[in-house]
Amino acid sequence: MKLRIATYNMHKGVSAFGRQARIHGMKEALSSLDADLLFLQEVQGQHDNHAKKHPLWPNAGQHEFLAGESHHVAYGMNAVYAHGHHGNALLSRYPIISLINHDVSDHAYEQRGILHAVVQVNTVAVHCFVIHLGLFAASRRRQVQALVNTIIRDTPVDSPVIIAGDFNDWNQRLSTTLYQQLGVVEAFDAAEAAESAGNVIRQASVRAVLSDYLQPPRRIHARTFPAQFPWLCLDRVYLRGFRVQQALVMKGTPWNALSDHVPITVNLEMVERQI
């Protein structure tokens, strides 16, 4: 069973300071990725000022506009203000059977959430977590611990898991925590290890298998920010229960002119459960 996924911080579908609407170009570019699952951050659910300023501003929320008729959609509203709101979204070709948005805001000036959506991929329930962590290291540590606690509490140990989004982790310190506490691996680590070793991450005894599969996570992940010259490693995909076939950063045209981040795409193959 194969999946193509992508994660993207879309900068609310506008240029800096909202001078230009980029949401239509963004929809075309995202469609070209042909992703089964799209993990999106900074999705504008409503913005009355942009709607007045930009003649072609979508009537629906950006999550609904981007989903169109091809994808199901889950939206987690995080930041709320007088003229609208924004948050995280998951677009899925497969039915979304449940969703919950966990408020992990650390203070009033940074409203953050973890969107947990369960997607029915044929006969398998895949647990998807869309993440956009805070700008301060202490906030990120607390938010990652909230993520860990949520997954341990709400996700069966034999269920496949995808965690994707903007981690704002330019010091690259969070992968070790996620690896040690959840047994998830970062997609580019997994792709490199699979290519060199030809091994597979299996559902059963995740920690034991991973000890043979990978060394502790590297400190260099995919560079995704800023879009015109990606240097910082902010955006990630972490996995359990999948083999990574390919992981790419989508650089260059049109991505360098749509948002301040560039997207990551990952081709996955689900690993059969071990009895």
Question: Domain map of the chain by residue range?
Answer: 2-270
**Cα 193 off chain centre by:** 21
Query: Tell me, what's the pLDDT at 202?
Result: 41
* Cα 82 → chain centroid: 27
Residue 183's pLDDT is 92
pTM of the model: 0.91
The H-assigned helical ranges of the chain are 23-33, 48-53, 62-67, 137-154, 174-182, 187-197, 206-213
| Banded pLDDT at 272 (limits 50, 70, 90) | confident
Q: Is residue 261 scored above 80 in pLDDT?
A: yes
Residue 72 — very low, low, confident or very high, per pLDDT cuts 50/70/90? very high
Tens digits of residue pLDDT in 197-244: 554 444 333 443 343 444 556 656 899 999 999 999 999 999 999 999
CATH topology of domain 2-270: Deoxyribonuclease I; Chain A (3.60.10)
**Cβ–Cβ under 8 Å, residues 31 and 265:** no
* CB-based contact 56:75 (threshold 8 Å): no
